[in-house]
A and B are shown apart, each in its own frame.
Chain A
Amino acid sequence: MNKYKEIFFKNVWYENPVFVLVLGICSTLAVTNNLKNTLIMTIGVLLVTGFSNLTVSLLKSFIPGKVRMITQVLIISFYVIIVDIVLRAYLPDVSKALGPYVGLIITNCIIMGRAEAFAQSNSPLLSFWDGVTSGLGYMVVLMVIAFFRELFGFGTVFGYRIMPEGFVNWTIMVMPPSAFFMLALFIWIVKGRGNNNA
């Protein structure tokens, strides 16, 4: 049980994929100006990371070294396409709102990174847990950034108006550059709070 707890804290805090390993930055910049899209996108990443880790780990003794990475990409795309199909069929409005971003989960380097660094050499259940917690670490950071970007950029939280009527939206918060500033601020604050890995 301790091992699971250790992985949890490692992936969410001490070796967080976004603010410590600085992976998955493209999507951090792209989707974080709206909380709802961010939430659904990160749930997708969480599930895909978990299940592709599980599958890679289950198949690891059969995968030839030469085609190891191709196989990982195949497994990852398999799960991403399933997420896409499920959204299209059962949550069409969400699928519509996210548009091309669901397909782009495939290129999120956190997923491949975990498959290569963890699932290739660990047991299936542990790998699944590692994937889920990595996705959680990713989700936490993106949600915090999205919260501030949506709040200042649109004056809303999950689409509900929070800021008073006279509030002038900070346009820069909606645009990609603000995600750079937000991420840098985030890393700075986290480091100041004693996470020296960051």
Chain B
Amino acid sequence: MKTENKFYVILFTFTITFVFVVILSYINSLTYDKVLENRGYFKVRAILNAMRIDFSDKMDAIEKFKKYVKKINIGGKDFYVSNVGEKVYAYVFSGNGLWGTITGVVALNKNLDRIVGVDIISQNETPGLGGRIEEDWFKEQFRGEKVDKEIGIKKSEKLGDSNKENYSVDAITGATLTSKFFVKIINNTISEMRKVLRGDTYE
């Protein structure tokens, strides 16, 4: 076969690209529902984690989400409200990290002055460095933190800052920029939440 013929080269390139793309889109369509379902579950899981509602597995999480969490729209924004114990407001945020968009959830208490919890839905930070914002010790620092003014980051040798009154969390070693961006997103989200929620939430 004369494989160096110009026509053959074009035909070959076209055919092989076409075949591979068709196969890929077929595989993609097979798994599309599953991927969507995973994405939905990530969101539900993050909201429950941020609100500190315990669940055992996927089924349980979806059930508890339906049972305890209500989606409400205030001022054109979607908030998630839970009534297990004290009222908790959660908001899904999305903001710029060092490399890409970070989406996640911040949950605030009834008075909007303490964080109930934060969780991350998706991020593209460097695995092993900035990607560690997903680790529990990092997220745990925000739990209960007083936020009537902006919080900042500091460097320390230990893993995590347990003082809830100092308006500060420990940065991730080697990922100061990601930590800085993340805290900035959290601060912005909280002030955004206050702006929208204050007024009609103080009983």
When the two chains form their complex, are residues A31 and B12 in contact, meaning their CB atoms are under 8 A apart? no
Contact at B131–A64, with CB atoms within 8 Å?
no
1/0 contact string of B114-153 vs chain A (CB within 8 Å): 0000000011111111010010000000000000000000
**Hey, which chain A residues are within 8 Å of B3, CB to CB?**
61-65
**1/0 contact trace for B23-34 toward A, CB 8 Å?**
110011001001
Q: Which of A67, A71, A89 has a CB less than 8 Å from the CB of B34?
A: A89
A33 to B24, CA, bound (A): 32
Q: Known: A81-B24, A99-B131, A168-B157. Is A71-B13 also a contact (CB below 8 A)?
A: yes
**Considering only CB atoms, which chain B residue lies closest to A95 in the complex?**
B38
Whether the pair A171, B127 counts as a contact (CB closer than 8 A) is no
- Whether B38 contacts A89 by the Cβ 8 Å rule is yes
**Cross-chain contact A97 with B131 (CB below 8 angstroms):** yes
1/0 per residue, CB under 8 A from B, across A79-103: the answer is 0011001101110100011111100
Instruction: Determine whether B16 belongs to the interface, using a CB cutoff of 8 Å to chain A.
Output: yes
Most B C-beta atoms less than 10 A away, residue of A61, A96, A98, A100 = A96
Docked complex Cα distance between A71 and B13 (Å): 7
1/0 contact trace for A23-67 toward B, CB 8 Å?
A: 000000011011001000000000000000000000101111111
B contact residues around A168 at 8 Å (CB): 157
Chain B residues closer than 8 Å to A117, beta-carbon distance:
none
Q: Do B127 and A34 touch (CB < 8 A)? A: yes
A71-B16, A99-B131, A174-B128 given; A66·B4 CB < 8 A: yes
Please state if A92 and B16 are interface contacts (CB–CB under 8 Å).
Answer: no
The one of B9, B24, B123 that contacts A64, using a Cβ cutoff of 8 Å: B9
**Count of chain A residues with a beta carbon within 8 Å of a chain B beta carbon:** 37
With A71-B16, A81-B24, A98-B127 as known contacts, state yes or no: A89 contacts B35, CB within 8 Å: yes
With an 8 A cutoff between CB atoms, is B8 at the interface? yes
Known contacts A64-B4, A89-B34, A168-B157; is-contact A78 B24 (Cβ 8 Å): yes
Q: How far is the CB of B192 from chain A (nearest CB, A)?
A: 25
Chain B CB within 8 A of A74 CB: yes
Which residue of A has the minimal Cβ distance to B20? A78
Is B191 located at the chain interface by the 8 A CB criterion? Answer: no
Beta-carbon contacts under 8 Å, B1-52 to A:
1, 3-4, 8-9, 12-13, 16-17, 20, 23-24, 27-28, 31, 34-35, 38, 41-42
Please name all residues of chain A whose beta carbon is closer than 8 Å to the beta carbon of B17 when the two chains form the complex: 74
Task: Collect the chain B residues with CB atoms within 8 Å of residue A37's CB.
Answer: 127-128
B173 within 8 A of A: yes
How far apart are A153's CB and chain B's nearest CB, in angstroms?
Answer: 9
* B75 in contact (CB, < 8 A): no
In the assembled complex, the CB of B23 is this many whole angstroms from the nearest CB of chain A, namely 8
Let me know if B13 and A70 touch, CB within 8 A.
Answer: yes
The reply to whether the CB of A175 lies closer than 8 angstroms to some CB of chain B is yes
B85 at interface by CB-CB < 8 Å:
no
Q: Which of B9, B38, B134 contacts A88 (CB 8 A)?
A: B38
| A interface, CB within 8 angstroms of B | 30-31, 33-34, 37, 59, 61-67, 70-71, 74-75, 78, 81-82, 85-86, 88-90, 92, 96-101, 168-169, 171, 174-175
A33-B129, A74-B17, A97-B131 given; name 8 further pairs at CB < 8 Å. A63-B3, A67-B9, A78-B24, A85-B27, A85-B35, A96-B42, A98-B127, A99-B123
A-B contact pairs, 24 of them (CB 8 A): A33-B129, A34-B127, A62-B12, A63-B3, A63-B12, A64-B3, A65-B3, A67-B9, A67-B13, A71-B16, A78-B23, A78-B24, A82-B24, A86-B31, A89-B35, A90-B34, A92-B41, A96-B42, A96-B134, A97-B127, A97-B131, A100-B100, A171-B173, A171-B174
